[in-house]
Amino acid sequence: GAGVSQSPRYKVAKRGQDVALRCDPISGHVSLFWYQQALGQGPEFLTYFQNEAQLDKSGLPSDRFFAERPEGSVSTLKIQRTQQEDSAVYLCASSLTGISGNTIYFGEGSWLTVV
Amino acid sequence: QKEVEQNSGPLSVPEGAIASLNCTYSDRGSQSFFWYRQYSGKSPELIMFIYSNGDKEDGRFTAQLNKASQYVSLLIRDSQPSDSATYLCAVKDDYKLSFGAGTTVTVRA
């Protein structure tokens, strides 16, 4: 596609429910990132994939968060047993490669509200 | 995680004026600096990047970098109502972007 596509755009989950957020990066982009953006804050890094390999998951806030990119294209961020503090916008981004000089393009985000 | 600090604003400027946004960062070894614009409810959109000390101009936008002072700024000349948005400063380390909290700019018609 022309840009990074994310679904669902909006999700309301009851506390304790599991959610799965999907990201379809720009075709051919090797690098894929997930960021979490709380209201009034800048995006915070969650995890980084290069192709199918998850090279950095240091930003995942707890073991309830899990991300995968099994075929090196589409990625899924899964949050188990959601808590109210998980309410945020989850931004997916991709770039041609991960090195400096390559522009990182963001998707529109998945807005998660946990009630 | 690298620390990036911005004044949260809001910064209100009249139409046609210059909006000046500031950002400081903690890691002296940082090499790549970015300004993103984010409209309410939308994704961040890259507007400028700068790697070298000095000024870089692109249309009405000028980014300024001073590595010795660990300071990067963005000037928006001839501000337009369409420039009303949150501006995010980001520092890149290899592959990872670290963002400030953003400065909200409102341009008054």
Distance CA A97, CA A74 (A): 16
Q: Which residues in chain B are closer than 8 Å to A56, comparing Cβ atoms? A: 95-96
Taking only the tens place, the pLDDT of each residue in B55-73 is: 999 999 999 999 999 999 9
* Phi and psi angles of residue B82, each rounded to the nearest 5 degrees, phi first: -70, -10
Tell whether B90 is within 8 A of chain A (Cβ): yes
Distance CA A52, CA B52 (A): 33
Tokens at residue A28, please? 């051919």
Rg of chain B over all Cα atoms, to the nearest angstrom: 13
Tell whether B43 is within 8 A of chain A (Cβ): yes
Which residue(s) pair with A91 in the sheet?
A: A35
pLDDT band, very low/low/confident/very high, at B82 (cuts 50, 70, 90): very high
Is the pLDDT reported for residue A1 higher than 60?
no
Closest alpha carbon within chain A to B91 = A100
pLDDT band, very low/low/confident/very high, at B74 (cuts 50, 70, 90): very high
Q: Taking every pair of C-alpha atoms in chain B, what is the biggest distance, in angstroms?
A: 41
Exposure string of B6-45, with b = 16+ CB inside 10 Å and e = fewer, is: beebebebeeeeebebbbbbeeeebebbbbbbbeeeebbe
The predicted model gives A80-90 an average pLDDT of: 97
CB contact under 8 A, B94 and A104: no
Task: Look at residue B7 in the predicted model and tell me its pLDDT.
Answer: 85
Size of chain A in residues: 115
Task: Look at residue A64 in the predicted model and tell me its pLDDT.
Answer: 98
* B46, B88, B96 member nearest A42 (Cβ): B88
Tokens at residue B83, please? 């420039």
Taking only the tens place, the pLDDT of each residue in A25-62 is: 999 999 999 999 999 999 999 999 999 999 999 999 99
Distance of residue A19 Cα from the nearest chain B Cα, in angstroms: 21
CB contact under 8 A, A45 and B96: yes
Task: Look at residue A100 in the predicted model and tell me its pLDDT.
Answer: 60
